[in-house]
Structure 1
Amino acid sequence: MPYLLISPALVYLVFFIGYPLIQAILLAFFDDMGRPTLEYIQILLNDIYFSDAVKYTLLLASVAIPIQLAIAVALALLINTKIRGYNAFLYIYTIPLVLSDIAAATIWYTLLASYGLINRVIISLGGEKIYFLSSRHPELQFFSIVVAEVWRATAIVFVIVLAGLQTIPRDLIEAAEVFGATALQRLRHIVLPLLKPSIQAALLIRTLFAMQVFATAWVLTGRSIPVLAGEAYYWYTELLNPHVAAIYGLIIAGITIVIGILYIKFLRLKHLEGV
């Protein structure tokens, strides 16, 4: 009976994770004739975009995710106080969740382009045009991707954190207030420790998506700011080399797994440390 209950999960793991993973490994380390080879790894290492793709993918995640987590926690704490109009805010703030990556990136492209809305406002106020998306200014391109990603994906972190915040027993907060704990002390010693499972889940999900970021970077900057998922797409569709694309996919999976293990290790709850 227990095996029957978990069979849907096992079927999902086998067909949607296990099988694609095995196929990616076969593509990465075997040629079209089925012979083992390291040729495609050598091609990858000689690719001038590879090191930049790794750098920008990790940099984007390390910059965007902490910003998203900070905003999500702050907003969740505010909304949890049931301020006036919080229901309307929830609906409005989660709108980016229903947009596709391409749609969200296109919105920001129209805002940040050289003749986009933001530059029109700047020029109307007497300022000079800012070339956010010009390849001559990679720092502005990277900034634009970060802004678009924070706008697009913070909502999912916010929803998870808010759900976790609402499971914290109100009795604990009230007891701390009775004993004279300040708001900061309650946040530090009660709220944040009890939010660890939600924060852990939010970070795992957000990191998974951050490692797969593609449409935002591709629409806004093309290959000027290469990312791992974008390079996998380029090698598969433009260069017609699924072997190198598979290696890029395995690298994304490997980085995500390592970061996920670190999250689980360092955000482990104290009562589970002996388990």
Structure 2
Amino acid sequence: MPPAGPTRASRLAGSPWLLLAPSLVLMLLLFGWPLVQGVLAAFRDEAGFTLAHWQRLFDDPYFFRALRNTLLLIVIVVPVQLVLAVGMALLMQARPRFLSGHFYLWTVPLAVSELAAGLVWLSIFAERGYLNSLLVSLGLSENGVQWLGYQNTGSMLFTVVVAEIWRATSLVFVIVVAGVQLIPRDYDEAAQVFGASIWQRLRHVTLPLLKPSLQVALILRTILALQAFAVAQALTGRDFPLLVGETYQWYVNLQNPAVASAVALVVLALSLGTAVLYLRAMRGGGR
């Protein structure tokens, strides 16, 4: 008589889905349910389905300014942070003196909250801040520069970019360092034996092997840049609006959760779109 096959209960007990079930339930409760409620709030009112909330959002002059500023912040900050993080990680790989000191120094901003970082840079870029005091004392400016003046959009963007680069480059750095540590040194040494220059080794050996870490760093940093709020709020208030800041304005100050949900869905769509773009681009680059 042939042996009996595994029962349905035994198959279920050995299924990986059983181990994943608690995490899946937690994810659904923490993210799935709020997402459903946000979508319903953005597309419904007392009478049912409506696009009135979106029309009100698009009629708001701050929305498109916030969208432009957020995209500018991503386009400028993310590439600069990636280049800095790769350079810092390669320096760590060269094992300079006081290696641990370099690592801890570069990761200090990770321990600083966004709001605290914004206040620190506010003390530097304010009208009577440290930077203007230095410029006046050196005779480079008579009364200082209005870095945070509401009419100086370019200088406000500059201050937010500098603050974000200082605050969040360490996050990208930690991810890239972890990736560099996983690359066998034999590959780089073999490339040196065959006469490859430092740039050739970087382009053809290090960066291709770093692709998974760079992909994670790009996706995570872009999503976090889309959520930037506290630094810009501390530096410029609503003179330099960002998308998440507009969500806060609509929800807290204007008492309109429906329009706030619409802005949040825009942030979600941009986050998903950039993640898919990075995944396709990095996958295509490896063919």
- State whether structure 2 residue 186 is matched by structure 1 residue 186: no
CA distance in 2, matches of 1:227, 1:56: 6
> Could you tell me how far 1:7 is from its partner in structure 2?
1.9
Residue matched to 2:72: 59
TM-score normalised over the length of structure 2: 0.92
Matched residue SS, 2:235 = helix
Letter in 1 for 2:74: A
Matched residue SS, 1:88 = helix
Q: Which has the larger radius of gyration?
A: 2
- State whether structure 2 residue 67 is matched by structure 1 residue 69: no
> Could you tell me how far 1:9 is from its partner in structure 2?
3.0
1:114-263 correspondence runs (5 A): 114-128=127-141, 129-263=144-278
Matched residue SS, 1:223 = helix
Percent identical: 44
- State whether structure 2 residue 36 is matched by structure 1 residue 45: no
CA distance in 2, matches of 1:123, 1:164: 45
1:30 aligned to 34, 44, 62, which one? 44
Q: Unaligned stretches of 5+ in structure 1?
A: none
Runs (4+) off by over 2 Å: none
Residue matched to 1:6: 20
Residue matched to 1:19: 33
> Could you tell me how far 1:176 is from its partner in structure 2?
1.4
Q: In 2, are the aligned partners of 1:213 and 1:229 still within 8 Å (CA)?
A: yes
Q: CA offsets, 1:91-120, max 9 Å, x none?
A: 111111111110000000011101111111
- State whether structure 2 residue 132 is matched by structure 1 residue 103: no
CA distance in 1, matches of 2:284, 2:266: 29
CA distance in 1, matches of 2:30, 2:226: 18
Distance 1:89 1:34, change over 3 A: farther
Q: Unaligned stretches of 5+ in structure 2?
A: 1-14
> Could you tell me how far 1:34 is from its partner in structure 2?
6.2
Q: CA offsets, 1:160-218, max 9 Å, x none?
A: 01110110011111111222222211111110000010000001110110000101111
Letter in 2 for 1:176: A
* Count of residue correspondences: 271
Q: CA RMSD in A?
A: 1.3
TM-score normalised over the length of structure 1: 0.95
Q: In 2, are the aligned partners of 1:196 and 1:269 still within 8 Å (CA)?
A: no
